[in-house]
Structure 1
């Protein structure tokens, strides 16, 4: 199928229920596989750092600062990368709207993998002194820039290739790459904690999962290299209708929409970073803390919860094609609120069974407020500035939500002596996400192609005709 034919088949119809040819369906399956594998590898790298921050880096790179300060600073480096996500989002959005989604995805994949592999070779503070944490922070910044550019391209490749009536499901494929990445990262750390227990894990065991990234990047590169460009962008490029300054147009015409979209993600992301940011892992394994579980036991619990998160993320995408993105979010945030209030009371009992129950309960709401995000974001913004819109909304939401959630949680516990303040913080972020989604109209099935820019420019904000 030629690019122009693929374009007409994929973006011309304006109603849900569009049928696809066998060849186009094959390409859609290839895109689905590429987005799942690529994002899983990207987030494996990203979450591997977050998990290692509390388990490894606080001792090996920041140890001289003392236990309390080292914990907070190590989590600050997790959040630091979020400050550079907007830079990655701005760069990817600008060049993605000008030169295409596919090229950007190749660049972000390579950059993330190179930074992660380099961390695996990084000497500790005991070996090279202050240069060790400085180099670690620099590599984390590269991860942040890559993550900021990755997500927007991956979701648009998935959603813009999808049939109109299955955007939620197809859009959930890059979303499940996130719990898959967490599952892979926690799983590899669990294996190495068993293979190299105790001091051996700190001596060399933690490095193996980072070095494995080099092999995974090669796999991801091969899979992504064979995928066609997004049909929406292909049609824009064919007509020579790319916007010269897409970010300027976005911020000039749609600033409030970007903020509301960011708040929706922040409501999910703050809660999710209790595990993806490594806080629960650190809190429940700290030998000086109230729990004191074995490292391998906690990592296995996080791995299992990542699997349930994956299931509910996929379910959310499928469900949003039936009842709408907005309704799925409302259900999801209500269940997420329940999970937030169960989290620490269950974890603080000190039993492994309740730790599993707490994390699994939390993933129900996390999945149901995440799987539909790709489709929701893609349907919010006009085609010519869509990459910029989804990338920047996502990056801002990540800063507002997950960037410093582990740091805030650690500070609240050290300041108050209990986890109750953390619960109320997470509940407040969940409520903020729910309020934001109530401010949006559902745009399920809206045409995504450049022929419908006027319709896409009508504001989805409740009470607004145009942003």
Structure 2
């Protein structure tokens, strides 16, 4: 809920204030989510390394979850220093009225087509598949999470420059089509670290390009 609540207005603020091309600004906006996952995973690894699995599972996970308060304080300080963007302040008509009156037909389509159909699922794939067995499972899951998310960050950031060359609609549709075709291989037929990372890389191009139309 917190991610959803901050992401919408945060995206609008960046896209409306930014002097960059829409394609680059969109990729920058979308990189925040996977970068945050990378940081959280690294912090998790540090806690597990220095506390040990036994202490971490007993009480350490509470401290780990509490580190999120640091980011919450930073977000609170930034939010209280923000100014409304000129694009928001300019219209005399209520911006919500303009949105639903002139752009309502595209509103649902954009959230559907520009979504991330496999992104959140991918982060939980190791637990769903249940491999490998035994004590190595937790370490393997963490490795898949970290490497896949780093691949996602790379794809999101590359989506901006690539959208300068390829129409962003075709970039989104093409990469999602490839992801859907590749998903059965990576998730069912040949589930492996390499295939899961490749799936994360391919499907996150769409994530990096999904907010390009925000300021149009």
Q: Distance in 1 between matches of 2:177 and 2:42?
A: 29
Q: Distance in 1 between matches of 2:37 and 2:195?
A: 17
Instruction: Rate the CA distance shift 1:223–1:250 in 2: closer, same or farther, 3 A.
Output: closer
Give the aligned partner of residue 346 of structure 1: 190
2:168 to 303, 314, 325: 325
Report whether the alignment pairs 1:154 with 2:10: yes
Q: Distance in 1 between matches of 2:149 and 2:27?
A: 15
Give the aligned partner of residue 109 of structure 2: 260
Q: Is the 8 A contact 2:148 2:201 kept in 1?
A: no
Superposed displacement of residue 251, structure 1: 4.8
Give the aligned partner of residue 20 of structure 1: none
Q: Distance in 2 between matches of 1:342 and 1:151?
A: 32
Give the aligned partner of residue 302 of structure 1: 145
Q: Distance in 1 between matches of 2:76 and 2:35?
A: 18
Gaps of at least 5 residues in structure 1 are 1-143, 348-353, 380-447, 449-467
Gaps of at least 5 residues in structure 2 are none
Give the aligned partner of residue 214 of structure 1: 69
Q: Distance in 2 between matches of 1:318 and 1:208?
A: 39
Superposed displacement of residue 265, structure 1: 3.3
Superposed displacement of residue 176, structure 1: 0.4
2:210 to 373, 382, 386: 373
Report whether the alignment pairs 1:362 with 2:177: no
Q: Distance in 1 between matches of 2:196 and 2:45?
A: 16
Q: Is the 8 A contact 2:126 2:144 kept in 1?
A: no
Report whether the alignment pairs 1:280 with 2:117: no
TM-score if structure 2 supplies the norm length?
0.84
Q: Secondary structure at the match of 1:291?
A: coil
1:111-122 to structure 2, matched below 5 A, reads: none
Per-residue Cα deviation, 1:325-368 (whole angstroms, up to 9, x for no partner): 11221332233234413322332xxxxxx32x122101222221
1:243 to 91, 94, 98: 94
Q: Distance in 2 between matches of 1:188 and 1:346?
A: 30
Per-residue Cα deviation, 1:8-29 (whole angstroms, up to 9, x for no partner): xxxxxxxxxxxxxxxxxxxxxx
Instruction: Rate the CA distance shift 1:176–1:243 in 2: closer, same or farther, 3 A.
Output: same
Q: Distance in 1 between matches of 2:155 and 2:180?
A: 15
Q: Is the 8 A contact 2:152 2:204 kept in 1?
A: yes
Superposed displacement of residue 252, structure 1: 6.0
Superposed displacement of residue 291, structure 1: 3.0
Q: Is the 8 A contact 1:281 1:299 kept in 2?
A: no
Higher relative contact order (CA 8 A, sep 6+): 2
Q: How many residues align?
A: 213
Q: Distance in 2 between matches of 1:167 and 1:283?
A: 37
Q: Distance in 1 between matches of 2:160 and 2:29?
A: 11
Cα RMSD between the aligned structures?
Answer: 2.6
Instruction: Rate the CA distance shift 1:203–1:308 in 2: closer, same or farther, 3 A.
Output: same
Give the aligned partner of residue 189 of structure 1: 44
